[in-house]
Structure 1
Amino acid sequence: MSVLLSAQDLQLAFGGVKAADGINLDVMEREFLAIIGPNGAGKTTFINMSTGHLRPQAGSITYQGRQVLGMKPRAIVRMGIARSFQLPQLFTEHTVLENAAMAVAAREGTFSAFRPLLRPAFRAEAEELLERFGLTAAAHQRADALNEGTRKLTDIAMAVAMKPRLLLMDEPTSGVAAADKMAVVETLARVLREAGVTAVFVEHDMDVVARIADRVAVWGQGRIVALGPPEQVLADPTVQRDVIGIQTGEVPHAAA
């Protein structure tokens, strides 16, 4: 596999707090990379730097060999990098189908309040996208009436409508009911892998990480303190103690 995104020696501090303290990370094409770590470790900061929402004070980020630092978020999206947020960014007064169609229109650069939203071409692509995500039954529901799992899938479907090669997700299962979580995860993993999309995702649920990640990067105080396959990283005693919260002698839930 080739390197798709490369971060080199990223440095960023907010006052005396180092959100990035020498981050070096290569994201490989078509992999699913999970980022885990305690709150405040700098996980979301990395996603924000990679998508143009924050600029590091030093270091570089390249995508397919091209420097992305200093570029606007919209320009980065056009390069093939998309993201989803911890809180779904939906047009709540519109239906799921309308949200998907707006994402398609935005990708084509034709979104306007003065143009018909559900053009046949936009509608057809939006309906196909919703079918891939198992959202056809919810197509005509308003976004503000959805449960959290459906909201998350709709949000990620809108990101996929941009046809990215790389998708960065900030806690894709946050707020999703425990009974729905694995179904949501398996759906998004299936769709992204079928589309050949590389995924980097921040996650706190170790069962989710163990289920779909190819590699796991552990953040701690702005640094990567462990990196490797999930079976290796999640079994590390230090990771179990400091990140997962398992004390010596306990059986890791993720490995159950």
Structure 2
Amino acid sequence: MSALLSARGLKLAFGGLKAADGIDLDVMDGEFLAIIGPNGAGKTTFINMTTGYLKPQAGSIEFDGKPILGMSPRKIVALGIGRSFQLPQLFTEHTVLENAALAVAARSGIWSPFAPLMRPSIRQEAEALLDRFGLSPVADRRADALNEGARKLADIAMAVALRPRLLLMDEPTSGVAAADKMAVVETLVRVLRESRVTAVFVEHDMEVVARFADRVAVWGQGRIMALGDPQTVLNDPQVRRDVIGELPQEALHAPT
């Protein structure tokens, strides 16, 4: 397995706060990498640097062997890196189907305010996308009428419509009801694996991490404290003490 994304020596400080203090990380092609750590550890900063929203003061990032630092977020998306945000970025006054169609049209480069959005080819692809995410029953609802789990799936579906090779997700289960959380993650993992999308996701729910991550990177004060498979990392005494506290034993041994 080769590295799809490689970060070396990333440094970024906001005043006296070191958000990135020499980050070295390879994201392997095809894997699901979870990033965990306390608030303020630099997890979202890493995603923002990777997607062009922030520029590090030192270091390099390569995607598929090509340097991407200094590129705009739009150019990075065109290369094949997508992202979803902690708060879903949906057009709330539009239906779920219209949101999906907008993403399909944007990728195709054929949308304009003067062209009909629901041309047959766009509608067909948007409907197929929603079906894969289990969102067909709510396709005609406005986005602001969805529960948080459906909103998260719709947001990630829009990112998948852009056909990324790598998707970075910032807290995909944030705000999702506990009863819905595992079903939401199971759906997005299934779709991403079927689509051969490599994924990096920031997550605070350790049961989700234990069950779905191939590897776990632990962030602390802008540095990577630990990196490895979920069972090893989540059982590390320092990680348990400083980051996650106590976790049910069944979660530590959950299959990935």
Shorter-chain TM-score above 0.5: yes
Identity %: 75
Superposed counterparts of 1:102-117, under 5 Å:
102-117=102-117
Residue aligned with 1:156, SS? helix
Superposed counterparts of 1:214-229, under 5 Å:
214-229=214-229
Q: Residue by residue, what CA displacement relative to the aligned partner does 1:124-169 show, whole Å, maximum 9, x if unpaired?
A: 0000000100000010000000000000000000000000000000
Give me the CA root mean square deviation.
Answer: 1.0
Q: Residue by residue, what CA displacement relative to the aligned partner does 1:94-132 show, whole Å, maximum 9, x if unpaired?
A: 000000000000101122222111110000000000010
Question: How many positions carry a matched residue from both structures?
Answer: 253
Q: CA deviation at 1:255?
A: 2.4
* TM-score when normalising by structure 2: 0.97
Superposed counterparts of 1:168-187, under 5 Å:
168-187=168-187
Partner of 1:208: 208
Q: Residue by residue, what CA displacement relative to the aligned partner does 1:43-72 show, whole Å, maximum 9, x if unpaired?
A: 000000000000000000000110000000
Residue aligned with 1:225, SS? strand
Partner of 1:232: 232
- The CA distance in 1 between the partners of 2:248 and 2:187, in whole Å, is 28
| Residues 251 and 127 of structure 1: CA distance in aligned 2, closer, same or farther (over 3 Å) | closer
Superposed counterparts of 1:1-256, under 5 Å:
1-246=1-246, 251-252=248-249, 254-255=251-252
- The CA distance in 1 between the partners of 2:122 and 2:251, in whole Å, is 41
- The CA distance in 2 between the partners of 1:87 and 1:113, in whole Å, is 26
Q: Is the 8 A contact 2:44 2:170 kept in 1?
A: yes
- The CA distance in 2 between the partners of 1:116 and 1:107, in whole Å, is 16
AA of the residue aligned to 1:148? E
Structure 1: runs of 5+ lacking an equivalent: none
Structure 2: runs of 5+ lacking an equivalent: none
AA of the residue aligned to 2:74? R
Q: Which runs of 4+ in 1 moved over 2 A?
A: 250-256
- The CA distance in 2 between the partners of 1:82 and 1:177, in whole Å, is 25
AA of the residue aligned to 2:111? F
Residue aligned with 1:7, SS? strand
Residue aligned with 2:38, SS? coil
* TM-score when normalising by structure 1: 0.97
Q: CA deviation at 1:251?
A: 4.9
